[in-house]
């Protein structure tokens, strides 16, 4: 009888501890399914040798950053979109090997870039400039399927 009671108490304590850890490890503003854009004015980046992404949910932000892509591809598709636009300017430049500007575009409203490809160059850096921008901005560079 004592042994069953002891096992029950031990199990109960473990469950309580797991519950407490789970509750306190949760954070506010959890990112919803289908969207990796997190908190306001905090960029979310994803990098691997075959794809790069940069996303931000911005509110009246002025921001300049040149980011290394860590890509190892010479043929890439570029996908850029601005949604929820309410103000400002977004400017994007993709810089390749030998410091060549491979792609440049500016957005002043909602929209997507026309389909664009980079061929025979490695997109090494992405320069993002936001000027008093409010909205959601997303850029993806992925390996081209030829």
Between these two residues, 36 and 86, which has the higher pLDDT value?
A: 86
Asked if residue 13 belongs to a domain, the reply is no
Structural contact between residues 134 and 86, judged by C-beta atoms closer than 8 angstroms: yes
**Structural domain that includes position 97:** 52-143
Asked if residue 10 belongs to a domain, the reply is no
- Tens of pLDDT, residue by residue over 56-83, are 999 999 999 999 999 999 999 999 999 9
- CATH for 129: 2.60.120
- What per-residue confidence (pLDDT) applies to 2? 61
- Judged by phi (left if over 0) then psi (alpha if -120 to 50, else beta), residue 7 lies in alpha
- What per-residue confidence (pLDDT) applies to 34? 45
d(Cα 81, Cα 44) in Å, to the nearest integer? 15
Percent of residues, the chain, with pLDDT higher than 70: 75
Q: Tell me how crowded residue 93 is: count the other CB atoms within 10 A of its CB.
A: 16
Asked if residue 122 belongs to a domain, the reply is yes
Asked if residue 21 belongs to a domain, the reply is no
- pLDDT-derived band at 98, boundaries 50, 70, 90: confident
Which of 2-11, 48-57, 113-122 bottoms out in mean pLDDT, i.e. has the lowest?
Answer: 2-11
- What per-residue confidence (pLDDT) applies to 116? 94
Assessment of whether the complete model's pTM goes beyond 0.75? no
Q: In the predicted model, what is the mean pLDDT of residues 139-143?
A: 97
- What per-residue confidence (pLDDT) applies to 112? 94
Asked if residue 120 belongs to a domain, the reply is yes
Asked if residue 44 belongs to a domain, the reply is no
134 has which bridge partners?
Answer: 87
Between these two residues, 10 and 132, which has the higher pLDDT value?
A: 132
Domain count, the chain: 1
- Chain-centre distance for alpha carbon 67: 12
Asked if residue 9 belongs to a domain, the reply is no
| Maximum alpha-carbon separation in the chain | 78
Structural contact between residues 47 and 69, judged by C-beta atoms closer than 8 angstroms: yes
Q: How many Cα atoms within 13 Å fall on the side-chain side of residue 19?
A: 6
- Tens of pLDDT, residue by residue over 51-60, are 999 999 999 9
d(Cα 103, Cα 28) in Å, to the nearest integer? 37
Asked if residue 23 belongs to a domain, the reply is no
């Amino acid at each position: 009888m004592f042994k069953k009671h002891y096992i029950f108490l031990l199990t109960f304590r473990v469950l309580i501890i797991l519950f407490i850890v789970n509750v306190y490890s949760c954070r506010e503003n959890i990112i919803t399914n289908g969207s990796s854009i997190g908190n306001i004015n905090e960029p979310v980046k994803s990098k691997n040798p075959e794809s790069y992404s940069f996303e931000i949910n911005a509110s009246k932000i002025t921001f300049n950053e040149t980011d290394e892509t860590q890509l190892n591809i010479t043929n890439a598709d570029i996908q850029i979109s601005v949604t929820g636009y309410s103000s400002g300017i977004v400017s994007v430049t993709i810089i390749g090997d030998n410091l060549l500007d491979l792609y440049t575009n500016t957005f002043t409203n909602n929209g997507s870039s026309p389909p664009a490809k980079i061929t025979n160059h490695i997109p090494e850096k992405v320069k993002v400039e936001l000027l008093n921008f409010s909205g959601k901005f997303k850029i993806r560079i992925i390996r081209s399927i030829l």
